[in-house]
Amino acid sequence: MASGVEGATTIIKIVPEGTIVKKGDVVCQLDSSSLRERAKQQEITVNQADSAMIRAKTTLQDTINMSKRDIEAVKVRLDVAGRTLKKYIGGEYPQQLNDLEANIELANEELVRATENYEFTKLQVKKGYRTQNELEANRIAKKQAVFKLKSAAERKKVLENYDRQTREVELSRNVEQLKLELESAEKKAVLSENQAANDLKTQELTNAVEHDKYKRLLTQIEACSMKAPQAGQVVYAVNKNARGGGDQIEQGATVRERQAIINLPDVSQMKVDCRIHESMIGNIRKGLPASVRINAFADQVFNGVISDVSSVPIPGRWPNMDLKEYETEIKLTDGPEVIQKLRPGLTAQVEVLVDSRDDVLQIPLTAVLAIADKQFAYVLTEKGEELRELETGQSNQSHVEIIEGIKEGEPVIMNARTQFPDQIAALESKLSAEKAKHAIKVSNPDANPQPDRKPKPNAPAAEGAVSAAGNNEGGPRPAEQGKGGDRGEIFTRLDKNGDGKIQRDEMDDRMKSRIADIDKDSDGAISKEEFMNAPRSRREGGGSEAAPVAQ
C-alpha cells in the first residue's frame, strides 16, 4: 500500500507493525487538513463555474432567438419590396399609362366637338341666328380642348420617358439593398451565435476542470484514510535510498506520493526476492528449482522455483554503483502449513539448481592446480603423493567435474601449492618453456621444429594466468610478464564491487577452477597482490590438510 496523496504529507496515525487486520480496516491515517481547506475553496469555485455556464447557455439561446428575429424582419421587408416592384411594373405603370391614353382620347374627342361647334356657330352667326358672343365662347372652348389634348399627351410622355424609369430604379435599388441587409444579418447572426457557442464551450471546459479539481481533492481526502485491500498482517515498507539507508515509517513521519508505506502479504503464499550477479545470470531461467534457507529456521530447507527474472539489471547501491545485478523472484512451493510460519522481511540464502547430472566424479576446487594451460591434482597413492594431469568438465562454486585423471575413491590433497611449492615451481618452469617453444614454432615456421604436444580436448590452445581469470585471452604477452600495469587494469575491471578483492561471484568458471593456485590465504577471494603474483609466487607452508576423496 502506497501513499495516494499528491506531494508530501504526514502520517498522523498508523497501526502497529505485526497487527492482523481485516479487509476494509483503516491501517494508516494521513494528514488531510490542508486538503479539506482547499476543497472548501474549490467548492466555491465550482459553484461560480456552474453559474457562469448557465449564463452562457442563456446567452447563446437569446443570441439565436434575436438573430432569427432580425433575419425574419429583413426577409419580410425584402418580400414587400419585391412585391412592390412587381406591382409597379405589372400593375401601377400599365394602369397609369391606360389612364393617360384614355385622357388623350377624351381630349381629342372634346377637341373634335369643340371644333364642330365653333364652325357651326360661325355659319349661324353669318345667317344671324347666333350672336358674336356665342361664337367667341365656342372659339375659346375649342382652344381649351386643344390645350387639354396637348397636356394629356405631355403627361403620357413624362410617364413613359421619366417617371417609369425613376420608379423602377428606386424600387429595384430598395430590393438590392434589402438583399445586402439580409446577407449582413445572416453573417452577423452566425458570428454572434459562434461567439456565444465558444463562450459556452469555454465555460463548460472551465466548469469540467473545476469539477475535476474538486473531485480530485475529495479523492485525495479519501486517500488519506488508507484501508486494507485484503486481510493480512501489517508490515511497514522499507524504502531504501542510494546509500542503503531508508525512510522510517512511524507516526509523524513525512511520506511522498506513491511511497510504499504498508505491505499486507498473504502469508499462505510467500516468495523470496533476491539479486543474481551478472556473471551468473546466464544460467538462471524461469522454472529452475531452488533451495531456500531462512536464518530464523536454520535447520530447515524450503523448496521453491524461479517464477520471474528481470530482463534488465538494476544499478548497485553506493558506493558500488557499477555493480550490475538482476532481480529474481523465487516462489516457495512448500505446503501452507510449512509456509505460514514464515514472516515477511526474513533474511534468506538461496541455492538454485541450474543443472542436474547423475554419476559425476568431482573433487573440491581447492584441490585443483592450474599451471600454464593445464589442470593438475596431487593424489595420495600407496607409494606417496602423485601429480596427475586432469581433464575437467563443468564446475560450481565448490567442486569441479573430473573427466579423466582421477578414479572414484582416490584421495586428493587440498591446497597442494602450499604443500609442494618446489615441485610446482619446477613444473611451472618446464611447462612455460614448452609453451614458449611452441609459440616460437607457430610464429616462425623456419625455426627448428620442436616436439608438438597435442592439447587436451577441453584445454584452450594457449592460456596464461591472467587468461585463467577470464581476461586477456591467449595468455600474457612476453613484455607483460613480470610487470603489473595491464594486470592491474584487469584486476580493477574484475573487481566490480570495488572492495579490493575478486569475490567468487565475480569470477568466471576458469578462474574458479584455479582459485586454489591463486588464493594463497585460502579466504575464498583473490586479493590484488595474489592476482599480480599469480602463478609465479611461492608461499612456503607446512602441515597438511585432510585429503578429500573424489566422489
* Helix/strand/coil for 375: strand
What distance lies between CA 248 and its chain's CA centroid?
Answer: 30
Q: Which three cell numbers stand for residue 211?
A: 469539477
From 30, 494, 434, select the one nearest 259 (Cα to Cα).
Answer: 30
pLDDT, one tens digit for every residue, the chain (551 residues): 888 888 899 999 999 988 888 889 999 999 999 999 999 999 999 999 999 999 999 999 999 999 999 999 989 988 988 888 888 888 888 888 888 888 888 888 888 888 888 888 888 878 878 788 888 888 888 888 888 888 888 888 888 888 888 888 888 898 899 889 899 988 999 999 999 999 999 999 999 999 999 999 999 999 999 999 888 888 888 765 544 455 688 888 898 988 888 888 766 678 898 888 887 888 888 999 999 998 888 888 999 999 999 989 887 766 677 788 899 999 998 887 788 778 777 889 898 888 777 788 999 988 998 887 888 999 998 888 889 999 998 877 788 889 999 988 899 999 888 888 888 888 888 888 887 777 666 555 554 444 443 333 333 322 322 222 233 333 333 333 333 345 676 777 787 777 778 887 778 777 777 777 788 777 778 887 788 777 643 333 333 333 454 44
pTM over 0.75, yes/no: no
Domains defined for the chain, CATH in brackets: 1-31+232-237+256-264 (no CATH), 34-222 (1.10.287), 266-352 (2.40.30.170), 365-533 (no CATH)
Q: What does the alpha-carbon distance between residue 79 and residue 77 come to, in Å, rounded to a whole number?
A: 5
Q: Which residues contact 171 (CB under 8 A, 6 or more apart)?
A: 81, 84, 85, 88
Angle at 108 between CA 103 and CA 113, to 5 degrees: 125
Contact 342, 268 (CB under 8 A): no
* Helix/strand/coil for 385: strand
Angle at 303 between CA 299 and CA 309, to 5 degrees: 125
Contact 255, 8 (CB under 8 A): yes
Q: Which residues contact 543 (CB under 8 A, 6 or more apart)?
A: none
Q: Which three cell numbers stand for residue 383?
A: 607409494
- Is the CA virtual torsion 37, 41, 44, 50 positive or negative? negative
Q: What does the alpha-carbon distance between residue 117 and residue 135 come to, in Å, rounded to a whole number?
A: 9
Q: What does the alpha-carbon distance between residue 283 and residue 311 come to, in Å, rounded to a whole number?
A: 13
CB-based burial of residue 60 (10 Å sphere; 0-12 exposed, 13-18 middle, 19+ buried)? buried
Strands of the sheet containing 225-227, edge to edge, are 225-227, 26-30, 8-14, 254-256
